[in-house]
Chains A and B, each alone.
Chain A
Amino acid sequence: MMRRLNIYCIGCSHKTADSAVRDILYIDDEQLRLSMPRVQAQFQISEMMVLSTCNRFEIYLAGPPERIDEQMLFDLLLALHTGNQALARFNQNELEKLFYVYSERAAVTHVMNVASGIDSLVIGETQITGQFKDAIELARELETVGPILSRFAQEALALTKSVRTKTAIGQRSVSVGSAAAELVNLVFGDISKHDVAIVGAGEMARLAAQHILKQKPRQLFIANRTVQKAVELCRELGAGKACSLDEMPRLLVDADVVIAATSAVGFLIQRNGVEHALAARRGSPLCLVDIAMPRDIDPAVEDFENVYHFDIDDLQQVVDRNFEGRRQALEEASGLVTAAAEQFDTWMMHQHVRPLLADFDRYIADLMSQELQKTLRKGSFSNLTAEQLKALDTMLRSVQRKIVADAGEQIRNPPDGYFKDQLAEALGALFLSEGKAQKEKNDASA
């Protein structure tokens, strides 16, 4: 008989551990390639995958419930981090505070929440979905997952799509980079007709450029004091034209959108520079977005009628409003997660019940065959014709099919007060080899 496999999850995230702990736990793909197959073999786990990001470290398992307990999950976690001295310094109590453990339905729901971005630091962000995809791809490549986790990941990713399309959870930007792009869109709806200049080549500039590039600007300029850094950013983005800050006056004339994100002290874009540029722009509007701290753009540029200037406080307005919108969509998304978890649970049950019913079918067939042989050996039935024998056999097969079908139906749709698991276990215990052998053993010892 096939054993029932359950889903388990052990992990920690931004909700339970600070970034220092998460840094300790992070394992890159190269390390996972070495450790996952080893640990799987060591613990004889049917299926496993690992999601390791800067915000969470989680291990997902599928295995028989009788072999997996909380202690085993912690041992497995430590085995994956063999050689990690920083983690080894944590005692069991500390680990238990940092890590959460989920099993069965709770695990399914949790992982679906993670994959769809509901459990993310920035609710509804999409990066986690990509990371989840990468994690399942790696596990497939290492052959540490089988039908259960593959199907599970597939369901989780389908749910993610559904959450994104059916709810507003991912529709509103909540990062400074995306909020900057959203504000620019209030002035220029279609950036593909406009040139955009990003001033700076640091992290904020990179994020802003990534969001702007999604909208395919006509041309993207990256201006930086050190041109080499701008060149590197352009190479990383696969787009853009690097230039130095000396070209700022020309950029203010050519570009319709300027996003400043340097760490420079003092204003890089000053009022008189903008004034000169406006004279050459023949009345076309200029959108200046300052996401730098300290600020790069002189707020006095707001004196000009045709300049739309936004700074980090304005972007925060957008982020806060959008966060609120996402929170409101959370309830709706949770409903979708519950439905998907239930659907997956049903699939898991079918996976468990199908072999169970096959065994039960074989058991009934054997039983009937034995009883038929016994009956036929009796004198009164010894001279039945071939036709009568065939009719008797057909009748018994029909009874067999009906019993098995009824049992299957009862397990899949249990009567009130019963659970699928209970009925499946009862069927196994009462009639099938292991359960029956155990019962016979108990009877004999009694």
Chain B
Amino acid sequence: MYDSFWLHLSLVLTAVATLFYLPALSKEGIRSVALRLGQGCLVVATLALTYAAFGRYDSQVWTDAAPLLLSVFVLWIALFATFVLKTKMIGLFASPLVTLLLFIHAFFFPATQTYLTIDDPTAQYLAGFHVLFAVIGEALFAAAAGLAALYLWQHRALRRKQISKAIYQGLPLDKLESWLIKSLWCGFAFLTIGLVLGAIYTQAYLQVRPEGLTAKIAWALATWGWYLGTLNARYNLNRLPSAIARMALWGFVLLAVSMFGLGFFRISGVGPA
């Protein structure tokens, strides 16, 4: 089988492991199952990527193989730390790092060989679902920004003891925080799936990446990284809910502004697009 399949499989699995390593589910039992699933995904992804990377190595395309070899190296260290050194949470850092490397590889290193023809309807589905998932993810981030604003309003009113200003009596802080985190997690999951589909599409059908996509891809990866950081700040760095709300709100504002900026550059022809 062509090595791209193993490459794509490892991308999917590291992306899924990234989601599993975010303990979004509050119940301890479910979290433990999610952790085990994350570790399982990481093991399979390591094997698949090792196979894919050595396939590329044989093809003598060094610039192409370098990020893959780096990813393999990171993954094997992660597995060693997880199973030998019993550092179970190493995958928390390894899986998003490798996912990001694979995204960069997929988007910035065009495939040397496409393995499906453009006439294949799968291509249309891949492109369609890529857009759909990414848009849903961004919509959820917009919702998270709204919830974050509400949270900060309530938080501020209660901290300043302006009880009459805490107008949303039916929306206590813990409920707002819970909705905020859920919408961030779901948004992140949708965006991750959207990016994975985009990466596969790029690798499978685009031998030459259009120049105009560079800024868009950079923006999408920055968005992905920002929300990954936000979720990790809450779950793994135990940052306060108010800090998470600020990250969700200002992050969305900055990303929205930069997206409009991208659009403006593309329309006016000033920027890279």
**Residues on A facing B (Cβ under 8 Å):** 183, 185-190, 193, 282-283, 285, 302, 305-306, 308, 310, 314, 317-318, 321
Does A186 contact B154, Cβ atoms closer than 8 Å?
Answer: yes
**Residues on B facing A (Cβ under 8 Å):** 154, 158-159, 161, 163-164, 166, 169, 171-175, 234, 238-243
Chain A CB within 10 Å, residue with most, of B163, B239, B243: B163
Chain A residues with CB under 8 Å of B241's CB are: 283, 285, 306
Chain B residues with CB under 8 Å of A285's CB are: 173-174, 240-241
One of A185, A283, A302, A321 near B240 (C-beta < 8 A): A283
Instruction: Name the 3 nearest CB pairs between A and B, nearest first.
Output: A189-B172, A283-B238, A282-B238
Chain A CB within 10 Å, residue with most, of B159, B169, B174, B243: B174
Does B240 contact A305, Cβ atoms closer than 8 Å?
Answer: yes
Does B163 contact A318, Cβ atoms closer than 8 Å?
Answer: yes
CB distance from A157 to the nearest CB of B (A): 29
Does B163 contact A183, Cβ atoms closer than 8 Å?
Answer: yes
Once A and B bind, how many residue pairs between them come within 8 Å at the CB atom?
Answer: 54
Does A185 contact B172, Cβ atoms closer than 8 Å?
Answer: yes
One of B163, B169, B171, B234 near A314 (C-beta < 8 A): B163
Residue ID in chain B nearest A282 by CB atoms? B238
CB distance from A173 to the nearest CB of B (A): 12
Chain B residues with CB under 8 Å of A186's CB are: 154, 158, 163, 166, 169, 172-173
Does A283 contact B239, Cβ atoms closer than 8 Å?
Answer: yes
Known A188-B172, A188-B174, A285-B173: A305·B164 in contact at CB below 8 Å = no
Chain A residues with CB under 8 Å of B234's CB are: 283
Chain B CB within 10 Å, residue with most, of A186, A187, A321: A186
6 A-B pairs besides A188-B173, A314-B161, A317-B161 with CB distance below 8 A are: A186-B166, A186-B169, A283-B238, A306-B241, A308-B173, A321-B163
Residue ID in chain B nearest A194 by CB atoms? B174
Residue ID in chain B nearest A182 by CB atoms? B169
Does A308 contact B159, Cβ atoms closer than 8 Å?
Answer: yes
Does A306 contact B242, Cβ atoms closer than 8 Å?
Answer: yes
Q: Determine the distance from Cα of A193 to Cα of B26 in the docked complex, in whole angstroms.
A: 12
Residue ID in chain B nearest A256 by CB atoms? B174
Interchain Cβ contacts under 8 Å between A and B, 5 examples: A190-B174, A283-B240, A285-B241, A306-B241, A314-B163
Q: Determine the distance from Cα of A414 to Cα of B154 in the docked complex, in whole angstroms.
A: 60
Chain B residues with CB under 8 Å of A193's CB are: 174
